[in-house]
Structure 1
Amino acid sequence: MISWRETYNIGVDEVDQQHQELVVKLNEFLDACIQQKGKDKIMETLAFLRDYTVEHFRSEEEIMLKYNYPEYAEHKKDHDDFVASVLELEASIQNQGATVVTTLKLNRTLTDWLLSHISKSDMKIGQFLRINNIV
């Protein structure tokens, strides 16, 4: 399970709240996996991710564009790559059904995204906004 830490906050309330929502959903999925119910929870988690990515990525990208964030293109590519991973997983599950492998892959994808993207890429947005006295 992943505990939310204040160090994950980037300093933009809307984005930080969305990240916390992702942690809650990730923990629900991890809990289901621990209880051997990951396959049952996988489609719900993927549906959440489809909705989450549309809203959350739009929020981040609007902020980056509004304040001329210099690493916008690279960050947007990260978002696009994540969406592609989620869609690929969803297609795999629709074609082959939920398996232990797809459940583990979603688990790893979410965990990697949370720990890597938020703590590195998103944190750079927060630093940029603070340096430029925007937040």
Structure 2
Amino acid sequence: MINWKDSYDIGVEKIDCQHRQLLVKLNEFFEACTNQQGKEKIEETLKFLKEYTLEHFSDEEHLMQDIDFPELAEHRKTHAEFVKTVLDLEESIKSKGVSVLSTIKLNRTLTDWLLNHINKCDKLIGQCIASKGNQAV
């Protein structure tokens, strides 16, 4: 279980709300895995991630364009890699079925995304906005 920390906020309510929503789903998946129900929860979690990434990444990338974020291209690439990881995992589950390995992989992917991407990369968006005096949002 990962608790939301204020330090994860980037200072844009819409994006921060979406990030918190992801953490809720991540924790639901963690809890299911802890209760030996990860296999049952994985398809629901992947479905959520596909929908979430479409909306969230679009919102985030539009924001980055609006603020002339200098690392937009790299950030887009990272988003695309995450989507590919989710789709590859979904395809693997469709062809091979749900396994302990697939639940572990999703667990690691989501944890890494939260701790590294949101807490490090997305924080740069907030810093960029703050450096411009919050005029961009």
When the two structures are superposed, what TM-score results if normalisation uses the length of structure 2? 0.97
Give distance in 1, aligned partners of 2:2 and 2:21. Answer: 12
Q: Deviations over 1:57-84 (max 9, x none)?
A: 0010000011111100000001000000
Instruction: Report the counterpart of residue 131 of structure 2 in structure 1.
Output: 131
Give distance in 1, aligned partners of 2:62 and 2:41. Answer: 31
Contact kept? 2:67, 2:128, Cα under 8 Å:
no
Instruction: Report the counterpart of residue 9 of structure 1 in structure 2.
Output: 9
The equivalences for 1:28-107 within 5 A come to 28-107=28-107
Unaligned runs of 5+ in 2: none
Give distance in 2, aligned partners of 1:119 and 1:26. Answer: 15
Q: Deviations over 1:104-134 (max 9, x none)?
A: 0000000000100011100000000000112
Answer yes or no: is 1:18 the counterpart of 2:18. yes
Q: Identity, % of aligned pairs?
A: 55
One-letter amino acid of the counterpart of residue 123, structure 2: M
Following superposition, the deviation at residue 92 of structure 1 comes to 0.2
Unaligned runs of 5+ in 1: none
One-letter amino acid of the counterpart of residue 115, structure 2: L
Aligned length: 135
One-letter amino acid of the counterpart of residue 39, structure 1: K
Task: Find the residue that maps to 1:65 and give its secondary structure.
Answer: helix
When the two structures are superposed, what TM-score results if normalisation uses the length of structure 1? 0.99
One-letter amino acid of the counterpart of residue 87, structure 2: L
